[in-house]
């Protein structure tokens, strides 16, 4: 890096190593090899290797963070070790902030612009000041109960203007047990009838039985439930 500045590389002498957030912001997590994606986006010669960052590893200051453009991971290595460099210029720097999504219950959260696809990708970096709109989608059997953190609330989409590292929590609550859904899997079918019959016969049920599946308000799973379930399964109810 020093020699780039000493030699006034490409007419500039403010070259530096990117920091960890800047390098991570280049990674497209939807691709198994970020280098392949970057080389198709106007960059050239991006290698499937570790790239050094300027960020020091806090637990051991002789080490610095590095980011793999092969698989997108973050690691750390001896500052005197060998890794690839991606020179950037101070005059062009922007500051990046992180957005982390925390999920409670089952569902997904996506962002516009792209970056967050949570469950699988729950952390992304954006330019400071970027408005990011988050959309929540409950999994089957769950209902989106709302946002918290980052100024988000309610159950609609939420637009967060990222001026600092931010964590937003999306809470999904499980739907109540439906009538006749003895094993609480969201469906009323013959499996539920079998479980109910096992309860009646005093046989240990093969799955957990939810008494909330009660259909006649006696607080028990019994013949009334079996009849209800079979009528449902036979489509005569
Ligand atoms: Ca069921
Ligand atoms: Ca009952």
Q: Average pLDDT by consecutive 10-residue portion of the chain (237 residues)?
A: 78 86 88 90 88 91 93 91 86 79 96 92 90 95 95 95 93 95 94 97 95 96 97 93
Which ligand is in closest contact with the Cα of 207? Answer: 1
Residue spans of the domains in the chain: they are 2-92, 96-174, 190-233
CB 174 within 8 A of CB 145: no
Which ligand is in closest contact with the Cα of 225? Answer: 2
CA 171–ligand 2 middle distance (angstroms): 32
CA 145–ligand 1 middle distance (angstroms): 23
The reported pLDDT for the residue numbered 12 is: 80
Closest CA to 223 of 194, 202, 197, 204: 197
CA 189–ligand 1 middle distance (angstroms): 6
CA 199–ligand 2 middle distance (angstroms): 11
The reported pLDDT for the residue numbered 91 is: 67
Q: How far apart are CA 77 and CA 134, in angstroms?
A: 35
CA 142–ligand 2 middle distance (angstroms): 24
Q: How many residues does the chain have?
A: 237
The reported pLDDT for the residue numbered 31 is: 87
CA 230–ligand 1 middle distance (angstroms): 12
Q: How far apart are CA 71 and CA 53, in angstroms?
A: 16
pTM score, two decimals?
Answer: 0.60
CA 231–ligand 1 middle distance (angstroms): 14
CA 141–ligand 2 middle distance (angstroms): 22
The reported pLDDT for the residue numbered 4 is: 83
CA 183–ligand 1 middle distance (angstroms): 5
Q: How far apart are CA 31 and CA 214, in angstroms?
A: 48
Phi, psi of 119 (to 5 degrees): -25, -40
Which ligand is in closest contact with the Cα of 210? Answer: 1
CA 228–ligand 1 middle distance (angstroms): 12
The reported pLDDT for the residue numbered 56 is: 93
DSSP code string of 156-180 = S-EEEEESS-EEEEEEEEEPPPPTT
CA 192–ligand 2 middle distance (angstroms): 13
The reported pLDDT for the residue numbered 181 is: 96
Q: How far apart are CA 173 and CA 145, in angstroms?
A: 6
The reported pLDDT for the residue numbered 197 is: 97
CA 191–ligand 2 middle distance (angstroms): 17
CA 102–ligand 1 middle distance (angstroms): 29
Q: How far apart are CA 16 and CA 90, in angstroms?
A: 7
The reported pLDDT for the residue numbered 155 is: 95
CA 181–ligand 2 middle distance (angstroms): 12
């Amino acid at each position: 890096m020093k020699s780039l500045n000493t030699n006034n590389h490409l007419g500039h002498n403010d070259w530096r190593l990117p920091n960890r957030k800047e390098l991570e912001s280049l990674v497209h997590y939807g691709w198994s090899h970020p280098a392949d994606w970057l080389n198709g986006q106007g960059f050239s010669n991006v290698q499937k290797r570790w790239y050094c960052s300027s960020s020091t590893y806090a637990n051991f200051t002789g080490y610095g963070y590095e980011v793999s453009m092969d698989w997108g991971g973050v690691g750390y290595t001896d500052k005197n070790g060998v890794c690839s460099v991606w020179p950037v210029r101070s005059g062009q720097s922007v500051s990046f902030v992180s957005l982390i999504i925390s999920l409670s219950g089952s569902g997904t959260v996506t962002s516009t612009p792209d970056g967050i696809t949570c469950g699988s990708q729950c952390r992304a970096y954006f330019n400071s000041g970027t408005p990011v709109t988050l959309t929540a989608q409950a999994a089957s059997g769950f209902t989106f109960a709302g946002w918290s953190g980052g100024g988000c609330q309610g159950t609609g989409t939420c637009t967060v203007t990222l001026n600092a590292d931010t964590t937003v929590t999306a809470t999904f609550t499980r739907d109540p047990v439906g009538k006749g859904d003895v094993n609480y899997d969201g469906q009323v079918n013959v499996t539920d009838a079998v479980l109910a019959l096992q309860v009646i016969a005093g046989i240990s049920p093969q799955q957990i039985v939810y008494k909330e599946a009660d259909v006649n308000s006696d607080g028990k799973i019994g013949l009334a439930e079996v009849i209800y379930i079979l009528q449902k399964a036979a489509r005569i109810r």
